Amino acid sequence: MRNYTFRTPSFNLLAESFKNWLRVLGYAQATVIGSPSLLKVFFYYLEERGITGVDQVNGQVMKDYLEFLQKRKNSMSDGGLSINYIISHINALKRFARYLQETQGVILEVPLKVKPEKHPQRVILTHDEIRRLYQVTDNTQQLGYRDRAMLGVYYGLGLRRSEGMALDLKDVLLKKNMVYVRKGKNYRERYVPVCQVVRADLENYILFARNSFFYSPEKRKNPALLISMQGRRITGNTLIVRLQLLAERACIDGPVGLHTLRHSIATHLLSSGMSLDSVSRFLGHRSLESTQIYTHLVNE
């Protein structure tokens, strides 16, 4: 992303304060970094057209900006920007509009709508494939303990990628058989129940493996639940590499990601007879509409 420096001082201040607002509200790190960067593209567009304040932005300016994005060339490959990348710009502007309204009482209309690109059908693992993933973990090594904890977080608890990465040790409430998700989507918090199998895997990882990933006692102050080999909070890429390695060992064909585990537990819970409302709360969905897709997968 180009490092924009604006002639308009207010644009620099707004971009920085918007970033801090996202961080305080607990948005995912990718959003905290990405949304202000996309906002800076918008500010650069405004300056190039002689617009030096958000109070000068109206619906027509927004529509012109959307047309600009749709015609803009992709610097990384041939052709224009992808539809989903353009949607990321629009979502960043909508977050910025909310920031303005809540912090300054300024109303910024973002009347932009773009249909997202169609994604491939969700991959759902069978019960047998999940069982095989667990079977290929190695309970004699620290990585094996962490692998089972990872499966527990993303299949047993059905967490989103960012939610699992953001879990701290103190969020695992073993005595209450609960996990506290403090950084859910759109900064919504929730408690997720923990079954006995997942509880045992998390407890074994915490007691017998987690501390072995730290090279010094000082680093053990890291609050993260899932720790990398370097003693840092684990990244999504590291988790995906481990999961794909397990999938290969378990002879599972096709792409398998962290969200695959979330989709799978949702489908398995519905097929076992759990109500749509209960599954929706378990997944942390805002509405039942987001959960209903799984009813179609169960029927299929």
Active site residues: 160, 185, 259, 262, 285, 294
Strands 178-181 and 190-193: antiparallel
Q: In the 3-class helix/strand/coil scheme, how is 113-145 assigned residue by residue?
A: CCCCCCCCCCCCCCHHHHHHHHHCCCCCCHHHH
Angle, helices 127-135 vs 258-271, to 10°: value is: 130
- Cα angle 179, 184, 186 (rounded to 5 degrees) comes to 160
Q: In the 3-class helix/strand/coil scheme, how is the chain assigned residue by residue?
A: CCCCCCCCHHHHHHHHHHHHHHHHCCCCHHHHHHHHHHHHHHHHHHHHCCCCCHHHCCHHHHHHHHHHHHHCECCCCCCECCHHHHHHHHHHHHHHHHHHHHHHCCCCCCCCCCCCCCCCCCCCCCHHHHHHHHHCCCCCCHHHHHHHHHHHHHHHCCCCHHHHHHCEHHHEEHHHCEEEECCCHHHCCEEEECCHHHHHHHHHHHHHCHHHHCCCHHHHHCCECCECCCCCECCHHHHHHHHHHHHHHCCCCCCCCHHHHHHHHHHHHHHCCCCHHHHHHHHCCCCHHHCCHHHHHHHC
